[in-house]
Amino acid sequence: MKKTPIAASAFLLASLLAGGCAKKATTATSTTPAAASASVVASGSSVSQNVVSAEKTSPPQIIQDDKDFKYVTEQFADLRILRYRVPGFENLSAQQKELLYYLYEAALSGRDIIYDQNYKHNLRIRRTLDAIVRNKRDRSTSPDWEKFMVYTKRVWFANGIHHHYSANKMLPEFSQEFLASSIRRVPANQLPLQKGETVESFTKWLTPILFDPNLDAKQVNKAAGEDLIKTSAVNFYEGVTQKEVEAFYAKKDVKNDPRPVSHGLNSKVVKENGQLVEKVWKVDGMYGPAIQRIVFWLEKAVAVAENNEQRLALQKLVEFYRTGDLKVFDEYNIAWVKDVNSAVDVVNGFIEVYDDPLGLKGSFESVVSFKDEEATKRIKAIGDQAQWFEDNSPLLPQHKKKNVVGITAKVITTVVEGGDAAPATPIGINLPNANWIRKEHGSKSVNLGNIVHAYNESANSGGSALSEFAYSQEEIDRAKKYSSLASDLHTDMHEVIGHASGQINPGVGTPKQTLKNYASTMEEGRADLVALYYVMDPKLVEIGVMPSLEVGKAEYDGYIRNGLMTQLSRLAPGEKIEEDHMRNRQMVAAWAYEKGRKDNVIERVTKDGKTYFKVNDYQKLRALFGQLLRETQRITSEGDFKAAEKLVETYGVKVDPVLHKEVLQRYSKLNIAPYQGFIQPKLTPVVNNGKVVDVLVVYPDNFTQQMLEFGEVYNLLPHYN
């Protein structure tokens, strides 16, 4: 096998922390990336890309002014690569910076996990693409090279060969011959060959996996009437059927349990000797080498925690990773919710279930952040009124919470994102996902302030979708004045109030049990409807978070425009809508359009041969949103699967092919990529006499370079797990 810098960099930082500078060790060889990782963690050393000795460094760099910062770095296929700043990092204490550095390393240490979760062959594929790029030599002169690089960057962006949003397999545009010749140019010891495998047999195996459109064509299939496990390529199940898995977990669920465990969240289900078994993701289980590395950094974070509440939460997270016990995961979530006084925060674990067609398995993700005190004032003002919003919502009385508890709302400054949260990122987060924990202990809602800012800044590059798809100049002017605030308020209300609102009837199972493959779409739609209902409420003006209802009108214009038209730019011709957030937006907008047709609430207009959707009555539209909110909560509270299926399939899945074609034609002229994601900032510790005394932030601007670097440093798992 090729030499790896992992052990060397581990030796360097470990030596520095042990007592001053050390000469850089020579690189060591290992039989597998997993073996290297295991030896590093077992020896107690730590792993870092680089370390700066305090006596050899100048004072910490001054972060660039925003006006000089380059937010957009490149654009290819349907993707645009951005950067984001970390304002305020330089003002943190040395202890807080050290804590953030350890959490940063823990976040990135799970990179291999998300690749393997997304598809069982992803790690071999990524390692092959990485090796070809590193050995490109004269390949850059080939006409296929640019196509190869576009494909490779798409794989990096999606954490695998399936599109990060549509879940469809991404097919290469370069030739099979080019792939074969490129693989032959890579030294065999740098290729992810299996024992006894030749370069030729490996190439023959890999070619159909990349090029055959019918082989593992869909990462996540949620189509009604099909076996969702057999038709999904996601690596959460193997050798089992949907009926078998549903029966397997039905036996684990305790009927009427007021505090149900999230069974299946951290495991893969396989069939062994005719029986279904779980391969649990934990230190001594599946994904062990990567989880060992995560735990290593988390334990270092425990030692520099800001307070006892944060320390307890981190200790519980470590215990969960060591044991795989989902009851401990609940204990961690409760401790995490109670940690409200720390400036530094982290999401780390198997969290969201969107990538499981059954909504059971959590994808690894991490978001490391610190609180933006000034920006938090807006979102806190909303959170403080949570009970008022619940009491005054259009929900049926029996579905309202009588006592909304523990909602903590803040704007955060993101430091790094990993796993399923990168390169494509959320802009708002509300956790934990367990409904009973939300009800009894509360939740944390955050707006990723600097990420939203980067998106807004990047919007100034390229053509204007607003000018192309907005019906009138009045609509355009209102959007330019208020859409940024409107978007922030929608995110705040969606996360802080929406996900935390409502309650499930006694004796009814969790949405993943009752609504099954429609649970995520219904939950996102319900939260969106809460935001839409209240963004036109004078209460938001009263509490000082928006100047007038014109902000709400801007949000209604944009939501209908996106839900019925512009989001279709993300689909290829002939595709249906599969992704939950897209389904929910079309479901809400299309339902409101249809139900309001009698009163012409939303009007479909043709002007100069182009289609537009124009809101004619904002108050009647608000009333429609309230009606649908009441119904989506009823469906959730009562576990009405048939009603959820009918609502989603009728309004959220099908695409008008004529309108879709028009949208694609109009959008193609704008030079705007429909998807965006980020290069991550890089943290570098400054060490003096074995102590981290400072941490520097730099902003890489080369996506390819960062992906190759991550592929070297966080290359922790075997090819198959």
For 392-404, how does the pLDDT look when each residue is reduced to its tens digit (9 = 90+)? 999 999 999 999 8
Cα separation, 376 vs 409, in Å, equals 7
- Res 675: pLDDT: 93
Task: Kindly report which listed range (29-33, 314-318, 345-349, 415-419) carries the lowest average pLDDT score.
Answer: 29-33
- Res 3: pLDDT: 31
Mean pLDDT rounded to a whole number for the chain: 90
- The SS3 assignment for 535 reads coil
Structure tokens at 621: 């539209």
How is 1-37 classified by DSSP, letter by letter? ---BSHHHHHHHHHHHHHHS--PPPPPB--SSHHHHH
141-150: average pLDDT? 90
- Res 459: pLDDT: 76
Beta strands in 647-705 (DSSP E): 675-678, 682-688, 691-698
Helix, strand and coil in the chain, % to nearest 5? 50, 15, 35
Beta strands in 153-239 (DSSP E): 237-238
- Give me the residues paired with residue 53 across strands: 687
pLDDT tens for residues 559-601? 999 999 999 999 999 999 999 999 999 999 999 999 999 999 9
Query: Which residue in this structure is represented by tokens 């984001």?
Result: 84
Structure tokens at 156: 């990096």
Buried b vs exposed e over 353-362: b needs ≥16 C-beta within 10 Å? Answer: bbbbbbbbbb
Cα separation, 517 vs 359, in Å, equals 6
pTM score: 0.85
- Res 255: pLDDT: 83
Cα 703 to Cα 83, 146, 292, 530, 707, distances in angstroms: 10, 15, 27, 37, 6
Query: Which residue in this structure is represented by tokens 């399923």?
Result: 420
Phi, psi of 623 (to 5 degrees): -65, -40
The answer to whether 304 touches 57, Cβ cutoff 8 Å, is no
Which of the two residues, 141 and 170, has the higher pLDDT score? Answer: 170
Sequence-distant (6+) residues with CB within 8 A of 218 are 162, 167, 168, 169, 231, 232, 233, 578
289-313: average pLDDT? 98
pLDDT score of 622 more than 70: yes
CATH code linked to domain 77-119+162-171+213-464+702-720: 3.30.540.30
Cβ atoms < 10 Å from Cβ of 473: 9
pLDDT score of 632 more than 70: yes
Buried b vs exposed e over 122-161: b needs ≥16 C-beta within 10 Å? Answer: bbbbbbbbbbbbeebeebeebebbeebbbbbbbbbbbbbb
Pairing of strands 364-371, 344-350: antiparallel
The answer to whether 318 touches 299, Cβ cutoff 8 Å, is yes
pLDDT tens for residues 427-486? 999 999 999 999 999 999 999 999 999 998 887 655 578 999 999 999 999 999 999 899
- Res 407: pLDDT: 82
Percentage of the chain surpassing pLDDT 90? 83
- The SS3 assignment for 506 reads coil
pLDDT tens for residues 115-128? 999 999 999 999 99
- Res 464: pLDDT: 79
Q: How confident is the model at residue 234 (pLDDT cuts 50, 70, 90)?
A: very high
535-557: average pLDDT? 97
Q: How confident is the model at residue 30 (pLDDT cuts 50, 70, 90)?
A: very low
405-412: average pLDDT? 88
Query: Which residue in this structure is represented by tokens 């992810």?
Result: 192
Task: Kindly report which listed range (161-165, 375-379, 600-604, 706-710) carries the lowest average pLDDT score.
Answer: 375-379
Q: How confident is the model at residue 405 (pLDDT cuts 50, 70, 90)?
A: confident
- Res 456: pLDDT: 86
Sequence-distant (6+) residues with CB within 8 A of 643 are 631, 634, 635
The answer to whether 316 touches 335, Cβ cutoff 8 Å, is yes
Q: What is the H or E stretch that residue 170 is in?
A: none
Round the CA-based radius of gyration of the chain to a whole number and report it.
25
- Eight-state DSSP code of residue 361: P
211-236: average pLDDT? 96
Cα separation, 428 vs 493, in Å, equals 10
320-339: average pLDDT? 98
224-243: average pLDDT? 96
Cα separation, 567 vs 562, in Å, equals 5
Cα separation, 98 vs 622, in Å, equals 47
Q: Starting at the earlier edge strand, list the strands of the sheet with 675-678.
A: 72-76, 79-82, 675-678
Q: What is the H or E stretch that residue 457 is in?
A: helix 449-458
Structure tokens at 132: 């070809």
- The SS3 assignment for 626 reads helix
Cα 150 to Cα 75, 77, 174, 587, 653, distances in angstroms: 10, 7, 10, 33, 29
pLDDT score of 510 more than 80: yes
Total H helices, total E strands in the chain? 27, 16
699-710: average pLDDT? 97
Pairing of strands 691-698, 275-280: unpaired
Task: Kindly report which listed range (17-21, 424-428, 541-545) carries the lowest average pLDDT score.
Answer: 17-21
pLDDT score of 43 more than 50: no
- Res 54: pLDDT: 52
pLDDT tens for residues 357-382? 999 999 999 999 999 998 899 899 99
Domain ranges of the chain: 77-119+162-171+213-464+702-720, 471-671
- Res 136: pLDDT: 84
Q: How confident is the model at residue 348 (pLDDT cuts 50, 70, 90)?
A: very high
633-654: average pLDDT? 98
pLDDT score of 132 more than 80: yes
Cβ atoms < 10 Å from Cβ of 539: 14
Structure tokens at 502: 């409502």
Cα separation, 463 vs 450, in Å, equals 23
- Res 224: pLDDT: 86
Single out the residue of 103, 19, 18 nearest to residue 305, CA to CA: 103
pLDDT score of 406 more than 90: no
Query: Which residue in this structure is represented by tokens 């009851």?
Result: 327
Cα separation, 635 vs 638, in Å, equals 5
Structure tokens at 309: 């509440």
490-514: average pLDDT? 93
- Res 369: pLDDT: 98
- Res 253: pLDDT: 87
pLDDT score of 48 more than 80: no
Q: What is the H or E stretch that residue 267 is in?
A: strand 267-272
- Res 16: pLDDT: 45
- Give me the residues paired with residue 418 across strands: 366
